[in-house]
Structure 1
Amino acid sequence: MAEIAKPTPKSNEILIKTYATTVTSGDWRVRSLNVPAGFGWMTRLVFGISRPRQPILGSELAGVVESVGKAVSRFKVGDAVFAFSDARMGCYAEYKCMLQDGAVALKPPGLSYGEAAALSFGGTTAWDFLRRARLQRGESVLINGASGAVGSAAVQLAKYVGASVTGVCSTANVAWVRALGASHVIDYTQEDFTRNGQTYDVIVDTVGTAPFSRSKASLKDGGRLLLVLAGLADMLHAPWASMRSGKKVIAGPVSVRVEDLSFLAELAAAGVCKPVIDRRYLFEQMVEAHRYVDSGRKKGNVVVVLGDEG
């Protein structure tokens, strides 16, 4: 914990007083350098050679606009908002400046600040991959790692599109994933989805355990494999696998669109896709929050509160 100067918004920025932030797998990977095979050197170059170049981690927050720059027209003082700084990080702080045209949106009514803070990372990741797959109503989709932040969002978003959803998770989370909207749930400790004879239009691998070599037989002709988490070798092999198999492999960085946050807010307000919270910690318990995420046992999102969560 450290005291730093309170930031002052530039003419096109808003200053947000943070009420809640999160600990995502992205925060954990930047801090620990526990990244997919082949990306260690690249992660160091981007985020810092010996330590994080940005000393303040955190990519999600929710709070209230405290002041605005003179050119700001989209927001006003007192607005309840949530924001996503993505790889720029910096959300583990009591105050954060964001561009008014950046990834900031009004907090959905009915959501706590903690729930709103957890909307962005899992939601934008899942929606970008499903969009790239052009998932259609009536198609079948299997989500490997359905209980994580990305997986739980993917279950709800695929259901919203009108797909038939199968979730893969551990025994402890079977009922919970079914409650999210999955029509079928596979307990990976009891059954290997790649060997049960079932095929799907889309497979979403959020945990890096279902590369093309393992999943191809479970894809229908013209099916799409979405590698949310993949090693460098799998990503480089994706175009070749797509050309040879008649099945498409989609991998690579997520493209976050500002309008995606407003879209997710609308769905959350309607109760269609709401972030699920596993645990809440106080800001002073940030170390414990990271330790819990490090354990690999979290489901959904881990929220850290800085004040009245609402």
Structure 2
Amino acid sequence: MKAFVLRSYGSPDMLDLTDIDRPVPGDDEVLVRVRATSVQPYDWHLMRGEPYISRLMGGGPGLRKPKISILGADIAGQVEAVGKAVTEFRPGDEVFAMPKQGGFAEYACVREAELAPKPKNLSFEQAAAVPMAAGTALLGLRDEGRIQPGQKVLVNGASGGVGTFAVQIAKALGAEVTGVCSGRNTDMVRSIGADKVIDYTTEDFTQNGQHYDLLLDAAGSRSVSACRRVLTPKGTYVVVGGPGSRWLQPVGHVVSALATSPFVSQRTTLADVVRCTETRQNLLTLTELIEDGKITPVIDRGYSFEEIPAAVRYMEEGHASGKVVIAV
């Protein structure tokens, strides 16, 4: 099969399109013919080996060279073969998954626990946009944020991959939602359900006197102390990511938020979907919301399989509105 293989850290030029052996599924795995995948910050952090501090962590990208040679955290496709312990899937089934690696290839092995039937009302490209971004939003709002109907929720970074899903999921769970984005994206964010939209180029959401029960921060564009000012006394600050140096990004922002949490009345928590163990159940929950028409992927651009390096380069620029998807 053809795959983009990452042999050393660096730019998208390090992604080498080559022929390799098709993987063989283990007992609890499913071999999926990849029909579509998507690109996200998780991929280019692994590609760059940044932040550098992550190379020292257990489960990190690897100290001197990448542990993960085929990137692509999300996939949608058709079951090609199943391991002998797999009970829920058969060849030909249309599925989507968050295996965290392997999507930049024509075939990928996925654990049954990371797989779910593809939403019937989505194309493969749309389905591939869902798992990691929507899973992060769901984890941040429902599990970490403990969102309740009627609460006021602020989504900082509302036009990005996680943000567009967060706006829709928060609305589906009964919240009053305010989205923060650039002026060029305000109409889009409003169209997906935001009750109010703040253009960060003309208004600082930390200075306008408004207060929220829950802030999901997918942008990290304001300091932790500034973000706390917009929360109610018992509000919750959910960190998804943030900017920083090559050494710490976005770890520095996350650590800063968590370090001050014990000394204030508000809760601070982290939405880390990579370490979540409920991947399949979350995918099933998202499928229900999608098929009920409550959330839908926002696609910024689509690329062909051969254009994966260009897609990663575009995502790395940080200007995507919604998701960047790949047709394999």
Normalised by the length of structure 1, the TM-score is: 0.92
CA displacement, residues 15-46 of structure 1 (integer Å, 9 cap, x when unaligned):
110100111111011112344xx745446972
- Aligned match of 2:305: 283
Which of 66, 71, 90 in structure 2 is aligned with 1:57?
Answer: 71
* Unpaired runs of at least 5, structure 1: none
The answer to whether the 8 Å contact 1:235/1:252 transfers is: no
Residue pairs, 1:1-310, within 5 angstroms: 1-35=17-51, 39-42=53-56, 46-86=60-100, 89-100=101-112, 102-130=113-141, 131-230=143-242, 231-239=250-258, 241-251=260-270, 253-254=272-273, 255-257=276-278, 258-306=280-328
The answer to whether the 8 Å contact 1:241/1:247 transfers is: no
- Residue 221 of structure 1 aligns to a residue in which SS? strand
The answer to whether the 8 Å contact 1:212/1:225 transfers is: no
The answer to whether the 8 Å contact 1:146/1:155 transfers is: yes
Percent of paired sites with the same residue: 40
* Unpaired runs of at least 5, structure 2: 1-16, 243-249
Pick closer, same or farther for the CA change 1:85–1:45 going to 2, 3 Å. closer
Shift of 1:212: 2.2
Distance 1:252 1:153 in 2: 14
- Residue 262 of structure 2 aligns to a residue in which SS? helix
The answer to whether the 8 Å contact 1:128/1:256 transfers is: no
Distance 1:9 1:201 in 2: 45
The answer to whether the 8 Å contact 1:28/1:290 transfers is: yes
Paired residue total: 301
Shift of 1:214: 1.3
Distance 2:32 2:102 in 1: 12
Normalised by the length of structure 2, the TM-score is: 0.87
Distance 2:288 2:237 in 1: 28
The answer to whether the 8 Å contact 2:297/2:322 transfers is: yes
Distance 2:50 2:197 in 1: 28
Distance 1:227 1:113 in 2: 30
The farther-off stretch of 223-232 and 117-126 is 223-232
CA displacement, residues 167-197 of structure 1 (integer Å, 9 cap, x when unaligned):
0001110000001100000000000000011
The farther-off stretch of 236-245 and 89-98 is 236-245
The answer to whether the 8 Å contact 2:29/2:110 transfers is: yes
- Residue 208 of structure 1 aligns to a residue in which SS? coil
The answer to whether the 8 Å contact 1:20/1:117 transfers is: yes
Shift of 1:251: 2.2
RMSD between superposed Cα atoms in Å = 1.8
